[in-house]
């Protein structure tokens, strides 16, 4: 299947470089793309208001793909386990919830080294509050799932193997206007509002919480 992918950046990237980037991104070291052009525009402009959307094609018929949005790995706990393994966690989370983090690592952390590509939800700084709150048992698993079903997070398409990097082909690019930065902050504001409302509504709600999963595992 040939996919059209977009990467938002402050620079034009004709050839993505294998093993270059931030190891603490959602899925570790890789080249992060999306099939959603508007989302790529937001990523490109979020810092300075200007940037570029780089457009690529990738034929992935023979690539090994881990798709966290489809069975058998669409359980949100697989996604959270990868996030907690790759992102820099607050001292509060590491010091006060070691059993919860160990539970996710033991039960749901996938070995991605054999894959070429990961498809999964994004968790920028705004949306990372949701899985953090779940680890602290502040929101239920049911509420966390509802966030993903709403589709606001968007999907990331992450190249992680040299094979995938060798196959991606640059098509062209376009400049991003300042409007995209406003769209980014509008999305961020909506995420912050949703998070606050969720904390308030989940305070006394019945449902599965992280502490329940840990206790059931003891």
C-alpha dist (Å) from residue 212 to 59, 136, 140, 141, 209: 43, 11, 10, 10, 5
pTM higher than 0.75:
yes
What does the pLDDT read at residue 151? 58
What does the pLDDT read at residue 117? 98
User: Whole domain around residue 52: which residue ranges?
Assistant: 2-217
- Summarize the confidence of residues 170-194 as an average pLDDT: 90
- Summarize the confidence of residues 163-185 as an average pLDDT: 93
Q: Indicate whether 185 pLDDT > 90.
A: no
Domains: count for the chain: 1
- Summarize the confidence of residues 5-32 as an average pLDDT: 95
What does the pLDDT read at residue 126? 73
The answer to whether 108 touches 81, Cβ cutoff 8 Å, is yes
Average pLDDT, the chain: 92
Query: DSSP code of 22?
Result: -
Q: Indicate whether 124 pLDDT > 80.
A: no
Strands 65-67 and 117-121, bridge-based pairing: parallel
């Amino acid at each position: 299947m040939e996919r059209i992918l977009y990467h938002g950046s402050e620079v034009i990237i004709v050839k993505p470089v294998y093993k270059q980037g931030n190891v603490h991104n959602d899925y570790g070291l890789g080249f992060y793309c999306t099939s959603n052009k508007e989302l790529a525009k937001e990523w490109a402009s979020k810092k300075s208001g200007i940037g570029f959307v780089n457009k690529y094609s990738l034929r992935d018929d023979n690539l090994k793909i881990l798709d966290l949005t489809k069975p058998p790995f669409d359980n949100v706990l697989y996604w959270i386990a990868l996030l907690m393994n790759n992102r820099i966690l607050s001292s509060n989370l590491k010091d006060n919830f070691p059993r919860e983090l160990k539970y996710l690592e033991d039960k749901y952390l996938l070995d991605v080294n054999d894959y070429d590509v990961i498809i999964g939800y994004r968790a920028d700084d705004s949306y990372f509050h949701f899985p953090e709150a779940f680890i602290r048992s502040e929101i239920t698993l049911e509420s966390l799932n509802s966030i993903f079903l709403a589709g606001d997070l968007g999907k990331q398409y992450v190249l992680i193997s040299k094979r995938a990097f060798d196959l991606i082909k640059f098509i062209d690019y376009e400049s991003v206007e300042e409007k995209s930065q406003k769209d980014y902050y509008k999305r961020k504001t909506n995420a912050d509002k949703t998070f606050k409302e969720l904390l308030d509504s989940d305070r006394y709600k019945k449902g599965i919480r992280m502490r329940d999963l840990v206790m059931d595992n003891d």
